[in-house]
Amino acid sequence: MSWIKDIVDPNSRKWEEFYRNRNQCDKVVRSTHGVNCTGSCSWNVHVKDGIVGWELQATDYPELEPGLPPYEPRGCQRGISFSWYLYSPLRIKYPYLRGVLCDLWRKAKAEHGDPVEAWASIMEDEEARKSYQQARGKGGFRRSSWDEVEEIIAASSIYTIKKYGADRLVGFSPIPAMSMLSFAGGSRFMQLMGGANLSFYDWYCDLPNASPEIWGEQTDVAESADWYNSKYIAVMGSNPGMTRTPDVHFLTEARHNGSKVTVLSPDFSMSSKFADWWLPTHAGQDGAFWMAVNHVILSEFHHKAKTPYFMDYLKRYTDTPFLIELDEKEGVYTAGRMAKAGDLERYSEEENGDFKYLVWDETSQQPRMPLGTLGFRWQEKKGEWNLQMKDGQDGSDIATGLSLLDGNEDILQVAFDDFSDGNTVQRGVPVRYLETAKGRIAVTTVYDLMMAQFGVDRGLEGDYPQNYDADSVYTPAWQEKYTGLDRANVIQFAREWAATAEQTEGKCSIIIGAGINHWYHANLTYRAGIVALMLCGCVGKNGGGLNHYVGQEKLAPAAPWASIMGALDWSKPPRFMNAPSYHYVHTDQWRYERTSDEARINPVSEDSHITGGHTMDHQIRAVRNGWLPFFPQFDRSPIEAVKEAEAAGASNNQEIVDWTVKQLAEKKMKFAVEDPDAPENWPRMWIIWRGNALMSSAKGHEYFLKHYLGTHTNTIAPETAEEFVKDVKWHKEAPQGKLDLVVDINFRMDTSALYSDIVLPTATWYEKDDLNTTDMHSFIHPLQAAVPPCWESKSDWDIFKGLAKKVSQMAETHLPEPVREIVTVPLQHDTPAEMAQPEIKDWINGECEPIPGKTMPGMVVVERDYVNLYKKFISYGPEVRKNGLGAHGLNFPVADFYDELKEMAPTQKWGGEEYPSLEIASQAANVILHLAPETNGEIAYRAFEAEEKKVGLPLTDLAEGSRDVRTTFADLDRQPRRLLNSPIWSGLNTNGRAYSAYCLNVEKLVPWRTLTGRQHFYLDHQGYIAAGEHLPTYKPKPDHSTLQDFLVTEADENSIMLNYLTPHGKWSIHSTYGDNHRMLTLSRGCHPFWLNDQDAEQIGVVDNDWVEVYNDHGVVVTRAVVSSRLPRGISFLYHSPERTIGVPKSPLRNNKRAGGHNSLNRIRLKPNLMLGGYGQFTYAWNYWGPTGANRDTYIMVRKLKGEPNW
């Protein structure tokens, strides 16, 4: 060929060195990305000339079992752009201090000398305090020094502790698993001081409440490799193609191995593209689809076919055979509480008989009491908490009956709520009668109630639909008006689903995410899907189950980590609080809410004392009854409370508690939550690290600015709560600027940093040592310093260590002696408090006695030693050695390993004792790795031994083969390590098997941590029954007229109203990466607002036009993406933009800077998620509580008038 030159001549190719030189680098260091991403990808960071050049993925993951695709490479477009941050102009290189505060501080310091007095002088000068609060977010940072800012933070802490109590200090950092030591450094500091740490999982609305409701588990899911085992995958509310970037290959590969993928999604998403079948359901209506699917499954595969695998599974692993009492009122029966063994004469002497439940035994034709229920878990005699279908009294086998259809004593008409059109239907249900201590009661099984609830016609009397075409609740025809999908889809889907499950024994799975979980009624939609899984025996199977991937909740070595994180190695209990309640109350968002609207959003068939009233009053009841924690605790300092008790004659801790209870009962002392706007009840100092708490996660962001910060805000919403609230004290004027000091620890100048008073420069993820795990895979990774912390930054661990030191130094003057304070704790999950409140009774109304830990929060007197705070911070305390470690109600001894740590690792010696050192992060990492069952085989063995004792069945075989495994931080550098089997988790990893949740329960008969020990279709809680959510149900999506988004905002012909969705996007992980140059270049140089082309045309908007998006809460100004990919009526603003990057001003709101995505919403808490005190409905941090739902929001959008104003 003439013109195509092939050249081999080396001389003319010498120039090729040009690119070779670029490629060469000096070293490669393994690290990963440490916040808010569930990827947990191992990266090789390339360093050249002492500068981080670029990163590429590690590909050396240990292999799983043969026949599974490997985990390589892992790492997405966002992660690979991280190196941009290190040297970018966005990097925070030095400590910064707000200028106005800086001037005040330096002046006060010169005047007073003593830092605490200096701080007090500013705080007590209202004008001075306002002056810097109003400057928040408006520029004017000054470079400061570590010395100065540490001094201010310590002074503010000590001032607050002395004046108001340590529970007015608050710390927030998101999901720890990605950089668990960085998280732990801050929480350890806060807990040693006595401050409160806020939860994240529920606040981000990532906690799927259905998981604790059904499984008594925060969340447990399959690692992504297990998708490959699934032969039918339904994807809903999740866009793995976009958001699970490193995992989605398992999904595409599964398809090529013959798996079917069906996607429910309103838009043609990146996942719809992968689907075999795309079901474009209306946004937020997936629940209706699944309810109808369940109708078909129950009709065809249960009632008609009685599929043996399904029947057998339900009997063993679910609550379907359990007996439910039917309550009669005016001739109408309703489903009530679970029948208790203790009510039967036969079992009346049983320990915890009221917490052991009954099934129908087909052999004896008697109600029998199977093992494994709540009462067995907490009884004296151990070894009976397992899933064997044996009678707990005599050990005899039970032939479990699912239904009473054959051999019933009666058919009763039972009322079922149909919230879809506000009706009730009456349907015949087969019953038996039991003679009990309460008299003769009618009972039926959960299975029979399910058949009736879902309208399966079994030839019984009542409002049963005749066929699938009947427009009766939960038929395929019924769902059409909600989902917009033809009934034929439902029928075909249900058949394919159930047939696959039958053929494969449960290899059907659901991938689900924020697209469902961020709706107000997410728990119901989740349950609707989970029902389809349980009905087909798909939970606890490889290839089966509910795979919820929202927020990275899985911190694998949880037990030792928690001891460091909560400073539990020194004292208990910690002050952990659910953030949704915290912000709802303290940012005063409750003041903007009306009872009538909220009640319409969450309909109940009959208003009762349990369901009625303002959400703020529900919140107060939840605190008073010990269902939820709350900080600050009381209307006075918890230190003062102890002093007052002692002044009143209390001589020991018990008497201090007694005195406090008495004060509360006599209403001489109040819970702070009852008057949150009183200055003594405000949060005072907030430290934010690893997160973007003022923007990315601040639902109701504009209210944060107004009430927390006291600076500018774009909300115009009216306060409407006054006439509706009862128990909370109403202040005519809501306070603005509650927080004295906001500290942000960050490596980039994001919105939270910009609005804080002090910004501390932190090391990036390529500049520090840490640990990282995820639920997406089963390895543990290190973060490591490829280069030392740049400029003046320090790792989070070292920052908090520095703060601890400063506080200790200052305490020598101000808090020289240990002080005692009282700490309140809610009724906790995985403790006997699960049996505390089988009935809802309010002590405040005299319905019961106020008993701490039973009818009200527990109370503990603890001692704080501020002078030794630093020494405690850097020493692994003695409580662990003494009490062992554990989680989820399990405890195992570790004293010998604790001593081993002292032998092999550096120690701290003080006060005549020696402790394993936590002085530097890698030491803490080694402590964790050495004491966690997931990384130390002997500890795993021991943990299974402990679990064996409780369960009474063999389990240690699961750890036998790996007893000699030990892991160090240095090992993780060499290669990612796969986690060992551990009873703290429910999947099994043996021999490279893919982790799938609840395999331990199914295969080893370990109970779920629920009332029955089984998976729950039926939620036996008085509050759930009152809310109509005891059975799986459907509640309609709230419409805009009830949402109070437009009380003062009016529509005009230039605007259009759309449902406002903030799904997780392609160009950021929350707000991280979204501001970096790479992501902005590959997207549109902004976070655009997506809308449908016809909607856009209606308001004259063309692609890339500037638009103003607004409602009562605030305003966003950005450019529009017009796309026919979206259906009409919905809009996207991908989560989550910074208002600091290219955001112009808003003509609509006084030409002030427009906001971010959270400027357009306000938190709504679902009251029945505040319930507690019984069974799996008890509190644990990030496990239970109302979530920060944010999907139910509407906005107006119009074209921006004129050119953008900067």
Partner 1 sequence: MTRQMLNRFLLLAVGLLLLATPSWAQPGDPLRGEALYVGMASFSAGGAPCLACHGIAGRELGRAAGASYGPDLSAIYEDYGEDGIIDVLEDLSFESMVAIYENRPLTDSEKTDLVAFLGTVSTGVVPDIGSSMALHVVVVTALFLIVIGALGWRRLQGVRRPLVERARRGKGEIA
Partner 2 sequence: MNIRAQVSSVFHLDKCIGCHTCSIACKNLWTDRKGAEYMWWNNVETKPGTGYPTQWEDQEKYQGGWVKQGEQLQLRIGGRWGTLGKIFHNPSMPTMDDYYEPFTFRYGDLTSAPAGDDQPTARPVSMVTGKPMKIEAGPNWDDDLSGSNIYAANDPGVVKLSAEEQQQLFAIEKMVMFHMPRICNHCLNAGCVASCPSGAIYKRGEDGIVLINQDKCRGWRMCVSACPYKKTYYGWSTGKSEKCILCYPRQEAGEAPACFHSCVGRIRYLGVLLYDADQIESVAQRDDKDLPAAQREMILDPFDPQVIADAKKSGVADQVIEAAQRSPVYKFVKEWGIALPLHPEFRTLPMLFYVPPLLPVMSMNNQGKQKLADDFFATLEEARLPMQYLASLFAGGNEEEVKAVYRKLIAVRIQRRSVTVGDLPAEEVSKACTVAQLDTEAIDAIYRMTTLTRIKERIVVPPMLREQAIEAGMDPEEHKQEMGFGKRISPKRRW
Range 221-240, binding partner 2 (CB under 8 A): 228, 231
Residue 30 interacts with which of partner 1, partner 2, none, CB < 5 to 8 Å by class: none
Handedness of CA 221, 225, 231, 233 (dihedral sign): positive
Length of the chain measured in residues: 1206
> Which position among 49, 127, 258, 308 is part of the footprint of partner 2 (CB under 8 A)?
258
Residue 913 binding partner per list partner 1, partner 2, none, with a CB distance cut-off of 5 to 8 Å that depends on partner kind: none
Rounded least distance, CB 2 to partner 1, Å: 19
- Decide whether 397 or 1103 has the Cβ nearer to partner 1: 1103
Candidates 72-80, 850-858, 913-921, 959-967; binding stretch for partner 2 (CB under 8 A): 72-80
Size of the site for partner 1 (CB under 8 A): 3
Q: Does 72 bind partner 2 (CB under 8 A)?
A: yes
Nearer to partner 1, 483 or 1118 (CB): 1118
Question: Is cis: bond before 73, omega within 30 of 0?
Answer: yes
Residue 966 class from Cβ within 10 Å (0-12 exposed, 13-18 middle, 19+ buried)? middle
Nearer to partner 1, 501 or 1120 (CB): 1120
Sign of torsion, CA 945 947 953 956? negative
Residue 485 touches which of partner 1, partner 2, none (CB < 5 to 8 A by kind)?
partner 2
Specify the residue, 4 or 439, whose C-beta has the smaller distance to partner 2. Answer: 4
DSSP 556-570: SSHHHHHHHHTTTTT
Q: Which of 203, 215, 278, 1017 is close enough to bind partner 2 by CB under 8 A?
A: 278
Instruction: Find the Cα–Cα–Cα–Cα dihedral 859, 863, 869, 875, rounded to 10°.
Output: -80
Helices (H), 469-624: 476-483, 487-504, 514-517, 522-535, 558-565, 579-586, 595-601, 615-624
Residue 893: CB atoms within 10 A of its CB come to 17
- CA–CA separation, 402 vs 807, rounded Å? 62
Taking the C-alpha atoms of residue 179 and residue 187, their distance in angstroms, rounded to an integer, is 13
Residues within window 466-525 making contact with partner 2, judged by CB under 8 A? 480, 484-486, 488-489, 492, 496, 499-500, 503-504
Q: Give, for 53, the enclosing helix (H) or strand (E).
A: strand 51-57
Distances from the Cα of 718 to the Cαs of 727, 1047, 1060, 1140, in angstroms?
21, 8, 21, 27
Among partner 1, partner 2, none, what does residue 1153 contact (CB within 5–8 Å per kind)?
partner 2
Looking at the Cβ atoms of 697 and 1118, the one nearer to partner 1 is 1118
Sequence-ordered alpha helix ranges (H) in 850-918: 869-873, 879-883, 895-904
**Shortest Cβ 1103–partner 1 spacing (Å):** 7
Tell which one of 32, 81, 926, 1190 touches partner 2 (CB under 8 A). Answer: 81
Distance CA 894, CA 932 (A): 10
> Maximum Cα–Cα distance for the chain, whole Å?
106
Residue numbers 1099-1158 binding partner 1 by CB under 8 A:
1102-1104
User: Facing residues of 671 across strands?
Assistant: 634
Cβ atoms 1188, 1090 nearer than 8 A: no
355: three-class secondary structure by DSSP: helix
The least CB distance from residue 1122 to partner 1, in Å, is 8
- Identify residues 722-751 at the interface with partner 2 (CB under 8 A): 749
**Residue list 110-169, contact with partner 2 (CB under 8 A):** 135, 137-141
DSSP assignment of 177-191: GGGHHHHHHHHHHHH
Return the number of the residue (314 or 1120) whose C-beta is nearest partner 1. Answer: 1120
Which residue is it, tokens 């002078």? 867
Of 766 and 870, which CB lies nearer to partner 2 in the complex structure?
766
Q: Quick one: which of 272, 663, 784, 1055 contacts partner 2 (CB under 8 A)?
A: 272
Kindly give the residue spans of alpha helices, DSSP state H, lying in 860-915. 869-873, 879-883, 895-904
Q: Kindly tell me which residue out of 27, 50, 56, 145 binds partner 2, with binding defined by CB under 8 A.
A: 56
Of residues 29 and 628, the one with the C-beta less far from partner 2: 29
The binder of 22, among partner 2, partner 1, none, by C-beta within 5 to 8 A per type, is partner 2
- For partner 2, the closer CB: 53 or 832: 53
Of 1055, 1072, 1045, 1047, the C-alpha closest to 1160 is 1045
- Tell me the CA distances in angstroms from 399 to 71, 261, 371, 385, 889, one per residue in order: 44, 38, 13, 19, 30
SS3 103: helix
363 binds partner 1 (CB under 8 A): no
Pairing of strands 508-512, 232-236: parallel
Query: Residue 882's binding partner, choosing from partner 1, partner 2, none, with beta-carbon cut-off 5 to 8 A by kind?
Result: none
Instruction: Select the span of 82-90, 550-558, 715-723, 966-974 touching partner 2 (CB under 8 A).
Output: 82-90
Per CB under 8 A, the list member of 924, 1121, 1171, 1189 interacting with partner 2 is 1121
Quick one: 129 exposed, middle or buried, by C-beta within 10 A (0-12, 13-18, 19+)? middle
Contact 823, 864 (CB under 8 A): no
**In the complex, least distance from residue 1102 CB atom to partner 1, rounded to whole angstroms:** 5
Q: Closest Cα partner for 699 from 236, 116, 1188, 252?
A: 1188
| Closest distance of CB 145 from partner 1, Å | 33
Q: How far is the CB of 21 from partner 2 (least distance, A)?
A: 8
Rg over alpha carbons for the chain, rounded to the nearest Å, is 29
Nearest 5°: CA angle at 241, between 239 and 247?
A: 110
Compare residues 59 and 1104 and give the one whose CB is closer to partner 1.
1104
The torsion region of residue 87 among left (phi > 0), alpha (psi -120 to 50) and beta comes to alpha
CB of 1124 to partner 1, least distance (A): 9
CB of 457 vs partner 1, minimal distance in Å: 49
Among 27, 130, 273, 949, binds partner 2 (CB under 8 A): 273
Site for partner 2 in 698-717 (CB under 8 A): 712
* Binding window for partner 2 (CB under 8 A); candidates: 65-73, 801-809, 915-923, 1038-1046: 65-73
Q: Residues 6 or more apart from 725 whose CB is under 8 A from it?
A: 590, 614, 616, 617
70 binds, among partner 1, partner 2, none (CB under 5 to 8 A by kind): partner 2
Rounded distance between C-alpha atoms, residue 1149 and residue 1116, angstroms: 10
Interface with partner 2 includes 920 (CB under 8 A)?
A: no
Q: Stretches 276-284, 573-581, 903-911, 1054-1062: which one binds partner 2 (CB under 8 A)?
A: 276-284
**Is the Cβ of residue 3 or residue 964 nearer to partner 1 in the bound state?**
3
Q: Which stretch binds partner 1 (CB under 8 A): 314-322, 682-690, 995-1003, 1096-1104?
A: 1096-1104
Report d(CA 257, CA 240) in Å as an integer: 19
* Residue 621, amino acid: R
Exactly one of 147, 276, 345, 607 binds partner 2 (CB under 8 A); that residue is 276
Residue 709: strand, helix, or coil? helix
Residue 72, contacted partner among partner 2, partner 1, none, CB below 5-8 A by kind: partner 2
Q: E strands within 267-374?
A: 277-279, 323-329, 332-338, 359-361, 366-368
Residues of span 89-108 touching partner 2 by CB under 8 A: 89-90, 92, 96, 99-100
- Shorter beta-carbon distance to partner 2: residue 364 or 1081: 1081
CB of 1203 to partner 1, least distance (A): 16
1083 binding partner (options partner 2, partner 1, none; Cβ < 5 to 8 Å by kind): partner 2
Which of 1083, 1129, 1147, 1199 binds partner 2 (CB under 8 A)? It is 1083
CB nearer to partner 1: pick between 662 and 1128: 1128
Report 1054-1083 residues binding partner 1 (CB under 8 A). Answer: none
Residues at the contact surface with partner 1, assessed by CB under 8 A: 1102-1104
